[in-house]
Amino acid sequence: MTNIKRGMCLLLSMIMLLGMLVSCGPQQSPSATPDATPTPTVTATPSPTPEAGLKEDLVLSDFSIIYPTKKLTDSAQVQNAAASLCTSILTEASVICYPLDDSMDESMGYYGEYEILIGKTNRAESQQVLAMGLSHFNYVIKFIGKKIVILGGSDEATVEAVTYFAENMLTAELNTVEGMKTMMTTDYTYTSPWTKGVKAWLTNGFDKISADTKCKSDEFTHYDVYTAKNESEAVQIFLESVEDYEGLDLEVVGDHDGIRVETFYEHSNTAKNGERLYDALVPLSAKKLDIKNGIAQAMLVRFVTDKTVAGGDYEYVLRLVDQSGDIYTELTVTVHVWDFALPDTPTTKTECGILTGYIEKMHGNKNTEELYIKYYEMLLDHKMSPYDLPYDVLDDRADKYMSDPRVTTFRLPYSYDDARMVAMYEKLKTNEEWFKKAYFYPIDEPGTVEAVDTAVAMCERINTLCPGIKTCVPMHRMVEYDAERDTIDVMSDAFTLWVPKMFLMDSEDVLERMNEYMANGEEVWWYVCWEPANPYCNVLMDQLGVQHRMLFWQQVQHNVTGFLYWCTNYWEYVDPWEDPATVKNLSDTVYGDGMLLYNGNKVGIDGPCSSLRLVTICDGLEDADMLNMAKELFGEEWVNEKIATLSTSLTKYSRSSAALEQMRLEIGNAINNELNK
């Protein structure tokens, strides 16, 4: 009868094993990870001498694998891990074993003395380890009596422990007496950097998280940031939680002169396909972070240097804490400051829109003038110059903005009043700096022969009334004006500032003509909007962060000196906090076009909130500053060779954030070495 019971037990176990193996599947890997960093805290210590009573020829094949009896509401993680370990044992040690749940006893024909205990089994040895008070992500592998205990503070940690055992301790030698003796004298304790049920790890400041981002390694608890003086660089903290938490904050330890630290969490909203898009940056000083079980979240930490900071290395500790001050984890960042500064005035000229009507719409009946200045200043802090000054050009209050070195351009309002046009012109002529920054923008994207004629007439009127002032007329496509001429041909005498949509530069014909104009001293900028879409670089929410930054490397590569973005607060059809499809009149699957800012009153701020994309655009503009500085030091050919390792055309470029960071580091180091010989 005993043999029959034993046979039935083994048969049932084999059936269970097959079922569990079918249910196993790979975990999804993180969407982005930084370079490898210092390893987590791990201790491996010798165990006491094995207890008396162990058989002298003990080997792996003497052991059974035991896991906790699964209740209806329990996860199958531990059960699957036990089954997976059986497979590993067969592969590595050629030993056949079957996983059994801990309800097995003598009444069922089970007489096993030697057991590998997986998880929180009912065995005394498992309970002994459990009493050690393991935190959520910690685990222990320990030989106790006649048992090998593999146990974590959670099912997830137990699975990690089984994986570690299989990959690092399981060998064919365990099925030898000497190999088992070695196993018997070794404990393994893993201490996670995460003390609560939240995993937190560092990555760069521009890769994007997804709702199901998972962390498979805790090696990324340190990050190295490289920055010039008068620059900003960021890191992100990705968070993965097994519980709901409210009111999480970030405590920054490290106060260094000349470096300002800004902390945010990243708000997400949902695309049409259900994908979460993370973009709005909410200052943690205004609102703390709530996270949900199973939905990844992110924080952003921005390090802003000024010209007074000394070159060198600066250490920071980032502590994830709750409202009671409990520390969930500690992460470290070293900010390496190169001993050179980026210019106060960006080398890339920019122009972008702020629409006051949408400020009024989302903020209510407030002082729009004061709010506009807050939006204006936020864009300047991110290296972007808005179209319109906070005050009329003829107002003396506009003078300080026109003189601000951060302002690269400003738009003059086109007027049909000749006297007003001349008055603006005469004021600007009194200051060479103002005159160089000013431009008219009389018409947008002429797409017909009639519109081209109108654009030419307006430009000619400007040239007559205000000779020498720049005029901007963005071109989204080439109009075949007649059998021999297109838009460029007809407008070639109307102005000296060209602004084609970026993808037009992919045309050899357009590129050749733009290069000719640049060679003659004329300016060429470009712009993006709801198009071009992938594979071109743009600043749309569902594109990669590296594409936003790469856009400006390509701009330098093509000798384009300006960037236009039509609007930063286009909220005509949406509440930006709820719906990212901003241009529903064009497409309901284009996300974030014309929207780089969010109305801060949604989170208790009397002004705007920035976005991950705006921060990345700022990074790209600062990259362009560094590349242009390198041109001055090493020549255009040297810089173009560097860029060519990342981008060979507007549609063929690296999507690797690590590759871009590495090239930026190489160029920054070269500049630093050259300037500090």
pLDDT digits (tens, 9 = 90+) for 525-538: 999 999 999 999 99
Task: Yes or no: say if 161 and 139 are a contact pair by the CB < 8 Å rule.
Answer: yes
Domain range 198-341, its CATH number among 2.60.40.10, 3.30.950.10, 3.50.50.60, 3.30.70.1290: 2.60.40.10
Percent of the chain residues topping a pLDDT of 90: 78
Q: What does the pLDDT read at residue 31? A: 34
Determine what percent of the chain is predicted with pLDDT higher than 70.
Answer: 92
For 375-422, the DSSP string reads HHHHHHHTT--BSS-SS-TTSGGGHHHHH-TT---EEEPP-S-HHHHH
The pLDDT, as a whole number, for residue 25 is 30
Q: What is the pLDDT of residue 243?
A: 85
Which pLDDT score is estimated for 218? 60
Element (H, E) at 80: helix 77-93
Q: For domain 2-191, which architecture applies?
A: 2-Layer Sandwich (3.30)
Backbone angles phi, psi at 132, to 5 degrees: -70, -15
Q: Which of 10-14, 329-333, 553-557 has the lowest mean pLDDT?
A: 10-14
Q: Please, is 194 exposed, middle or buried when counting C-beta atoms within 10 Å of its C-beta (0-12, 13-18, 19+)?
A: buried
**Is the pLDDT score of 261 beyond 80?**
yes
pLDDT-based confidence at 401, cuts 50/70/90?
very high
Q: What is the mean pLDDT of residues 177-203?
A: 86
- State the pLDDT at residue 64: 92
- What does the mean pLDDT of the chain come to? 90
Residue 219: predicted pLDDT: 64
pLDDT score of 39: 45
Nearest-angstrom CA–CA distance, 205 and 477: 34
DSSP string computed for 432-456: HHHHHHEEE---S---SHHHHHHHH
* Average pLDDT of the segment spanning 380-391: 98
Residue 40 has pLDDT above 70, yes or no: no
Q: What value does the mean pLDDT take over residues 265-286?
A: 94
Classify the phi-psi angles of 594: left when phi > 0, otherwise alpha if psi is within -120 to 50, otherwise beta. Answer: left
Length of the chain in terms of residues written: 677
pLDDT band at residue 164 under the 50/70/90 scheme: very high
Q: Does the CA dihedral 516-519-523-524 come out positive or negative? A: positive
CATH of segment(s) 349-675: 3.20.20
The maximal CA–CA distance of the chain, rounded, in angstroms, is: 112
**Residue 286 banded pLDDT, cuts 50, 70, 90:** very high
* Lowest mean pLDDT across 3-12, 77-86, 443-452, 555-564: 3-12
Q: How far apart are CA 397 and CA 393, in angstroms?
A: 8
The answer to whether 563 touches 527, Cβ cutoff 8 Å, is yes
**Does residue 300 register a pLDDT over 70?**
yes
Which amino acid belongs to residue 428? L
Q: With 80 as the cut, is the pLDDT of residue 635 above it?
A: yes
8 A C-beta contact, residue 301 and residue 318: yes
What number is the average pLDDT over the span 26-43?
A: 39
Rounded to whole angstroms, the Cα distance separating 553 from 640 reads: 10
Break the chain into its structural domains and give their ranges.
2-191, 198-341, 349-675
Enumerate residues 6+ apart whose C-beta is below 8 A from 14: 98
What pLDDT is attached to residue 478?
94
Q: Check pLDDT > 90 for residue 136.
A: no
Q: What CA dihedral angle connects 618, 620, 626 and 627, to 10 degrees? A: -150
CA separation for the pair 358, 354 (Å, rounded) = 9
The pLDDT of residue 216 is above 70: no
The CA-to-CA distance between both ends of the chain, in Å, stands at: 88
Check whether 48 has a pLDDT greater than 60. no
Query: What is the per-residue pLDDT for 105?
Result: 81
Q: Is residue 100 within a helix (H) or strand (E), and if so which, with residue range?
A: strand 99-101
Asked whether the beta carbons of 96 and 62 are under 8 A apart, the reply is no
pLDDT tens per residue, range 61-72: 999 999 999 887
pLDDT digits (tens, 9 = 90+) for 418-455: 999 999 999 999 999 999 999 999 999 999 999 999 99
Band of the pLDDT at 116, cuts 50, 70, 90?
very high
Is the pLDDT assigned to residue 15 strictly greater than 70?
no
Report the C-alpha gap between 93 and 107 in whole angstroms.
30
